[in-house]
Amino acid sequence: MNAGVHVCVDKPLADKLNEAESLVELAARRKLTLMVGFNRRFAPLYRELKTQMGSAASLRMDKHRSDSVGHDLRFTLLDDYLHVVDTALWLAGGTARLSGGSLQTTSQGEMLYAEHHFSTPQLEVTTSMHRRAGSQREWVQAVTDGGLYAVCDMREWQEERGQGVIMRPVPGWQTTLEQRGFVGCARHFIECVQNQTVPETAGEQALLAQRVVEKLWREAMSE
């Protein structure tokens, strides 16, 4: 950005929150596009699910690992759990506030399990991650007024609205990069630079999820 170049960066925006805030301020001063690559916000099935969230009462997002405990708590929160928090809060409309939860760590201080609860006046949101669950599964479940919805691994859609369970197959033409939102993310950044518009995952958006994760880490360290 000091060289006047628009930037799309992988999450987190920076390792430390104050550094991330400084980057956002720098982009604003230099009138540059700064976007964080939260690819899940551009995954087609998650974007479709978001259109069903207007009457939702409950949303739960799980993202587990088969056996990936060997990192310290802060690294795992910022590197992986950040995705869960950002995606869930985005699906919920961006206004849900942290209401509780817990972090379980190993004797070496590595993250083992995290579960947190967020809420709005109309919606309850849960995020969950186990680092040794024996599975790499990621899924989101929504309970709405009139229907149940579930998306598994960003590639399998399931819904039930009084007429039995409908399962939609993965489109044969759709690549993994498309399914997981990477293509949409890259395309969105280019379009924002060309049209001089603000990205959906601008630096300010990235700060919201990082502040939540930093708060979880600080509270865990103070216990």
- Give the pLDDT confidence of 71-110 residue by residue, as tens digits: 899 999 999 999 999 999 999 999 999 999 999 999 999 9
Take residue 20 and report the two structure tokens written for it.
């991330």
Residues 6 or more apart in contact with residue 42 via CB below 8 angstroms: 181, 182, 183, 184, 185, 188, 200
Take residue 159 and report the two structure tokens written for it.
């819904």
CA distance 195 to 19: 28
Take residue 152 and report the two structure tokens written for it.
């598994």
Residue 17 has phi, psi (to 5 degrees) of -60, -40
More confident call, 206 vs 64: 64
CA 8, 199, 47, 179: dihedral to nearest 10 degrees?
-20
CA distance 190 to 69: 36
Q: How confident is the model at residue 17 (pLDDT cuts 50, 70, 90)?
A: very high
Q: pTM score, two decimals?
A: 0.93
What is the DSSP pairing of strand 147-152 with strand 156-160? antiparallel
Q: b/e map of 113-141 (b: 16 or more CB within 10 Å)?
A: ebbbbbbeeebbbbbbbbbebeeeebbbb
Range 166-181 average pLDDT: 92
What CATH homologous superfamily does 40-181+213-222 map to?
A: Dihydrodipicolinate Reductase; domain 2 (3.30.360.10)
User: What integer pLDDT is reported at residue 205 of this predicted model?
Assistant: 87
Q: What percentage of the chain carries pLDDT values higher than 70?
A: 100
Range 49-69 average pLDDT: 95
Map tokens 């669950």 to a residue: 133
Q: Indicate whether 191 pLDDT > 80.
A: yes
Cα atoms found within 13 Å of the Cα of residue 193, Cβ hemisphere only? 15
